[in-house]
C-alpha cells in the first residue's frame, strides 16, 4: 500500500511530494497558501505593468506558446480579451495532435484573430529520442517536454519578441516551485533543467544516440534551450499567466467552452464524463498515463481527482471510486506506440520495469481500456517504416 495524502490522495511516489505530521502533502499546503496568503490584486497590478512595459515595442507584444489544450487556450483568450494584446501564437507539434484539438484551435484562432506559427520536428529523430528517453527515464515524451519549452524561446529570439506568456504555473501540481516562496516562477533555463528536460539536455541526447543513429546535429536545435546571453540581450521575460491571476481550471474550461466553442474529448483511460477537458491534445496520452501507472502506481485519474479534492469539488469516496474503476488499464494506443518504436510489448514491459519507483510494484497484465471514438484516425506507421532506422556500423 502506498502512503497517500490524507487531503488530496496523491501517493508517496508522486514527484516532489512530502507529507507533514497531519499526513497532508506539500502540494495541498501550497494551494492553501495560494488561496489565503498571495496578494492576487497586487499580482494583477504587476501583470498590468509587465504588459504595458512591452506593449507596442516589437513586432508582437508577446509570444504565447500554444498546444490548444485548456490552459494555453485560456491563456491566449485571457490576454487577447482582457488586454487587447497582439500575440504571436507558437505551436510546437509533437506529432500526435488529435482532430478535435485541431478544430478547437481553428475556432480559437479565428475567433480571437491572431497570427499563428506551427512547427513540427523531424519525425525520424523524434522516434529515436522517444526510445532513448523511454529507456533512460521511463518517459518517452522528452521531445515534447523540451520542444514545447525551448522552441518558442527560439522564436522569441528570431522575432525579437522579449515577452513570453505560458499558462499554468507548475506550483499548481508539483513543488519544484512552491507558492509559499511567494515569487514569480520564471520559465527559464533553470526551470527547464530542474524538471522539464528529465535531466537530459539536447547535447546529452546527441551523445546518447550518435553511435547508432544518423542525424544532423542541427536536428536537435528545437530541443536546445537558447543561450542565456542571447535571451538576456533581448531582456526577455518568460512567465506564467497563472503567476498573476489565480489558476482555476474548471472555471476557465467553462469560459472557453462558452466563448470559444472549445470542446473536450475522450482521453484513453480517463472517465470521459467527468474529465473530458484534460490532455486532449495528444493521442499518445494514454500510453504516457499507462507508463506513469506502471512506474508510480497512480495516473491521471488520481491527479485530476486530487485537484478536485483540493478545491472541494469531489468527495474522497467518489475520487477513490473513479480511481478504482478507471486507473491503470492498458490503452489501445499502446499498439500504435510499439509500432512507432518497433519494439514488442515484452520489450516495452522490460524497459518500464527498470524505471519503477519503489515501493510500487506494477502489474503488467491489466485489462484494456476502451478505444476512443477517433482511434482509427490516429497516425499508424506503415509496416516498412516501423521502428528506428539504425546507422550502418563501420566495419560490420
Partner 1 sequence: MIGILDLGIGNLRSLSNAIHQNGFDSQVIKDETSFADLSHLIIPGVGHFQPAMAAVVDRKLRAPIHAYVATGRPLLGVCLGMQLLAARGTEGGEVDGIGLIPGTIKRLTPGAGYRIPHVGWNVLMTKRAHPVYEGLKNERDFYFVHSFAMVCDAADDVLGETDYGGPVTAVIGRNNVVGFQFHPEKSEVNGLKLLENFCLWDGKC
| Binding of partner 1 by 233 (CB under 8 A) | yes
**How far from 128 is each of 122, 146, 220, 343, CA to CA, in Å?**
10, 15, 12, 12
Q: Tell me the closest approach of the beta carbon of residue 190 to partner 1, in angstroms.
A: 7
Q: Which stretch binds partner 1 (CB under 8 A): 29-37, 88-96, 232-240, 255-263?
A: 232-240
Between 54 and 275, name the residue whose CB sits nearer to partner 1.
Answer: 54
Return the sign of the alpha-carbon dihedral for residues 353, 356, 360, 362: negative
Which of 22, 230, 254, 316 touches partner 1 by CB under 8 A?
230
Give the Cβ contact number of residue 254 at 10 Å.
13
**For the chain, how long is the longest CA-to-CA vector?**
67
Burial class (CB in 10 A: 0-12, 13-18, 19+), 355: middle
Which of 228, 254, 350, 389 touches partner 1 by CB under 8 A?
228
| Binding of partner 1 by 218 (CB under 8 A) | no
Which of 36, 218, 232, 258 touches partner 1 by CB under 8 A?
232
Between 232 and 361, name the residue whose CB sits nearer to partner 1.
Answer: 232
| Binding of partner 1 by 234 (CB under 8 A) | yes
Output the CA angle 152-156-159, nearest 5 degrees.
Answer: 130
Give the Cβ contact number of residue 345 at 10 Å.
13
Q: Do 255 and 74 meet the contact criterion of CB atoms below 8 Å apart?
A: yes
Between 188 and 278, name the residue whose CB sits nearer to partner 1.
Answer: 188
42/258 Cα distance (integer angstroms): 29
Which of 88, 89, 187, 231 touches partner 1 by CB under 8 A?
231
Cell of 303: 491527479
301/325 Cα distance (integer angstroms): 10
DSSP secondary-structure letter at 135? H
Q: Which stretch binds partner 1 (CB under 8 A): 83-91, 216-224, 228-236, 346-354?
A: 228-236
| Binding of partner 1 by 354 (CB under 8 A) | no
Interaction with partner 1 in 99-128: which residues (CB under 8 A)? none
Q: Do 286 and 74 meet the contact criterion of CB atoms below 8 Å apart?
A: no
| Binding of partner 1 by 161 (CB under 8 A) | no
Between 17 and 163, name the residue whose CB sits nearer to partner 1.
Answer: 163
| Binding of partner 1 by 164 (CB under 8 A) | no
| Binding of partner 1 by 148 (CB under 8 A) | no
Bridge partner residues of 64 (DSSP):
89
Q: Do 287 and 331 meet the contact criterion of CB atoms below 8 Å apart?
A: yes
Q: Tell me the closest approach of the beta carbon of residue 229 to partner 1, in angstroms.
A: 5
Q: Name the helix (H) or strand (E) containing 62.
A: strand 62-65
DSSP string, 19-34: B-TTS-BHHHHHHHHH
| Binding of partner 1 by 367 (CB under 8 A) | no
Interaction with partner 1 in 259-318: which residues (CB under 8 A)? none
Between 132 and 188, name the residue whose CB sits nearer to partner 1.
Answer: 188
Between 102 and 228, name the residue whose CB sits nearer to partner 1.
Answer: 228
Give the Cβ contact number of residue 382 at 10 Å.
7
Q: Tell me the closest approach of the beta carbon of residue 195 to partner 1, in angstroms.
A: 17
Interaction with partner 1 in 167-196: which residues (CB under 8 A)? 190
Q: Tell me the closest approach of the beta carbon of residue 32 to partner 1, in angstroms.
A: 22
Burial class (CB in 10 A: 0-12, 13-18, 19+), 346: exposed
| Binding of partner 1 by 45 (CB under 8 A) | no
3-state secondary structure 170-230: HHHCCCCCCHHHCCCCECCHHHHHHHHCCCCCHHHHHHHHCCCCCCCHHHHHHHCCCCHHH
Between 162 and 222, name the residue whose CB sits nearer to partner 1.
Answer: 162
Q: Which stretch binds partner 1 (CB under 8 A): 16-24, 125-133, 144-152, 233-241?
A: 233-241
Instruction: Give the interface with partner 1 as residue ranges (CB under 8 A).
Output: 190, 228-235
Amino acid at each position: 500500500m502506498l502512503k497517500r495524502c490524507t487531503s488530496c490522495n496523491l501517493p508517496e511516489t508522486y514527484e516532489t511530494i512530502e507529507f507533514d505530521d497531519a499526513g497532508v502533502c506539500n502540494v495541498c499546503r501550497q494551494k492553501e497558501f495560494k488561496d489565503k496568503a498571495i496578494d492576487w490584486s497586487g499580482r494583477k497590478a504587476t501583470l498590468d505593468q509587465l504588459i504595458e512595459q512591452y506593449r507596442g515595442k516589437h513586432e508582437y507584444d508577446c509570444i504565447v506558446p500554444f498546444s490548444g489544450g485548456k490552459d494555453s487556450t485560456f491563456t491566449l483568450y485571457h490576454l487577447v480579451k482582457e488586454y487587447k494584446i497582439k500575440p504571436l501564437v507558437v505551436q510546437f507539434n509533437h506529432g500526435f495532435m488529435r482532430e478535435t484539438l485541431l478544430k478547437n484551435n481553428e475556432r480559437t484562432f479565428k475567433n480571437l484573430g491572431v497570427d499563428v506559427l506551427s512547427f513540427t520536428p523531424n519525425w525520424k529523430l523524434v522516434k529515436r529520442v522517444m526510445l532513448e528517453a523511454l529507456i533512460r527515464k521511463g518517459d518517452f515524451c522528452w521531445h515534447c517536454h523540451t520542444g514545447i519549452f525551448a522552441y518558442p524561446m527560439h522564436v522569441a529570439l528570431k522575432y525579437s519578441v522579449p515577452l513570453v506568456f505560458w499558462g499554468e504555473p507548475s506550483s499548481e501540481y508539483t513543488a519544484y516551485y512552491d507558492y509559499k516562496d511567494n515569487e514569480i516562477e520564471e520559465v527559464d533555463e533553470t526551470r527547464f533543467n530542474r524538471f522539464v528536460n528529465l535531466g537530459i539536455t539536447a547535447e546529452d541526447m546527441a551523445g546518447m544516440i550518435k553511435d547508432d543513429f544518423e542525424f544532423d546535429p542541427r536536428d536537435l536545435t528545437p530541443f536546445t534551450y537558447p543561450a542565456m546571453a542571447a535571451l538576456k540581450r533581448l531582456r526577455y521575460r518568460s512567465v506564467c499567466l497563472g503567476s498573476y491571476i489565480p489558476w482555476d481550471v474548471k472555471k476557465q474550461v467553462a469560459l472557453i467552452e462558452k466563448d470559444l466553442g472549445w470542446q473536450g474529448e475522450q482521453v484513453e483511460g480517463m472517465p470521459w464524463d467527468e474529465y473530458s477537458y484534460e490532455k486532449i491534445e495528444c493521442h499518445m496520452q494514454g500510453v504516457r498515463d499507462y507508463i506513469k501507472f506502471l512506474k508510480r502506481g497512480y495516473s491521471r485519474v488520481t491527479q485530476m481527482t486530487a485537484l478536485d479534492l483540493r478545491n472541494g469539488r469531489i468527495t474522497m469516496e467518489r475520487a477513490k471510486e473513479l480511481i478504482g474503476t478507471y486507473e491503470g488499464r492498458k490503452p489501445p494506443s499502446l499498439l500504435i506506440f510499439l509500432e512507432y518504436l518497433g519494439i514488442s510489448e515484452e520489450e516495452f514491459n522490460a524497459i518500464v520495469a527498470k524505471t519503477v519507483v519503489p515501493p510500487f510494484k506494477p502489474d503488467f497484465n491489466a485489462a484494456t481500456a476502451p478505444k476512443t471514438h477517433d482511434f482509427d484516425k490516429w497516425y499508424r506507421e506503415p509496416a516498412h517504416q516501423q521502428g528506428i532506422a539504425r546507422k550502418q556500423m563501420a566495419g560490420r
